[in-house]
Amino acid sequence: MGFFKKMFGGSSFQDERAEGDSAFDAGDFQTARASFERALDRKKGATPDEIAHCEERMAVCLDRMAELHIEEAERLVEVGDLDLAEEELRHAMELGSSDEVVKRARRRLETLEKEDAVRQAEAPEELSDEDRWAILAGTWEDEQLDEYEEYGEPMRQALLTLHDGDVESGRDQLEAILAAEEEPLYLWLEVGRARMLNEQWESAEEAFRSFIDQLEDEEGGESRLAAHANLALLRDRADDEEGAMEEYGAAMEAFPDDPRPFLLMGRYLRETGAPSEAVEV
């Protein structure tokens, strides 16, 4: 919260507590959570009972926010979007304060993963490598596909290996291609993703920045947006809220007519405790 405090803070413990209580009573748990969190940042001079009050109510807020993610997951299940449903449940597990809510999200996630595994096992036939490559290629920019085809069969096998879930082998294959190329561009994007999957956070960030730094102003399309989004996640993971916001801001600047960067920024502000700023976004 340090970055947001510098930008938006300044109220006293009592002011923040009062705002938190008001939002809590109105059922606005995101705003209440943020206010109680700021109050606890300013708890010097507050009584133990006042501090306990804020801590207890903030815990309730976290549970209510987690429950909203669980509800959204169920809605996504109904429309068949299981990947996003699983992501919502993971958010619920991260946010939840009580063991009960966290366990409920975890059990639902485990159930979904089992159901997904059964569905895949019952699939009538597996796609061929050619079909899978065509599906992947359908998501790329034209110049991205051209670059990957220049790398030939090793690139195809590397990406299909990653697609199969063998992230370590897929990364190693991509790294070998990277080492042999003098002027890679979109390859940096795939290397960054592979390093993220292998939890190589710092080198993943280096790869994404290498990709973005080489793009012309109007170049990159969806891949540029994906790189900024991944960099924001990496900065947030490093507890660098300002850095994460800079990445979302860069995406908003690069795609002023696309609502997705604005939605990503708004969601980030809400989850980090700045809901009023999220509304402005």
Domain layout of the chain by residue ranges:
10-121, 129-280
- Which residue has 């429950």 as its token pair? 67
Write the single-letter amino acid at 201: W
Closest CA to 15 of 29, 31, 36, 44: 36
pLDDT at res. 38: 93
Statement: residue 119 has pLDDT above 80: no
From CA 262, how far away is CA 247, in angstroms rounded?
Answer: 11
From CA 67, how far away is CA 101, in angstroms rounded?
Answer: 7
Sign of CA dihedral 69, 28, 32, 6: positive
From CA 133, how far away is CA 147, in angstroms rounded?
Answer: 14
Nearest-5° angle of CA 178, CA 157, CA 183?
Answer: 20
From CA 211, how far away is CA 190, in angstroms rounded?
Answer: 10
Statement: residue 2 has pLDDT above 50: no
Q: For the residues 116-143, what does the mean pLDDT come to?
A: 78
Asked if the domains 10-121 and 129-280 are classified in one and the same CATH topology, the answer is: yes
What topology does CATH give the domain 10-121? 1.25.40
Write the single-letter amino acid at 4: F
Tokens representing 275? 């809901």
* Among 6-10, 67-71, 101-105, the least confident range: 6-10
From CA 237, how far away is CA 244, in angstroms rounded?
Answer: 9
Q: For the residues 246-252, what does the mean pLDDT come to?
A: 91
Q: What is the CATH number of domain 129-280?
A: 1.25.40.10
Torsional class of 44: left (φ above 0), alpha (ψ -120 to 50), beta (otherwise): beta
Write the single-letter amino acid at 150: E
- Record the pTM: 0.55
pLDDT confidence of 125, banded at 50, 70, 90? low
Statement: residue 83 has pLDDT above 60: yes
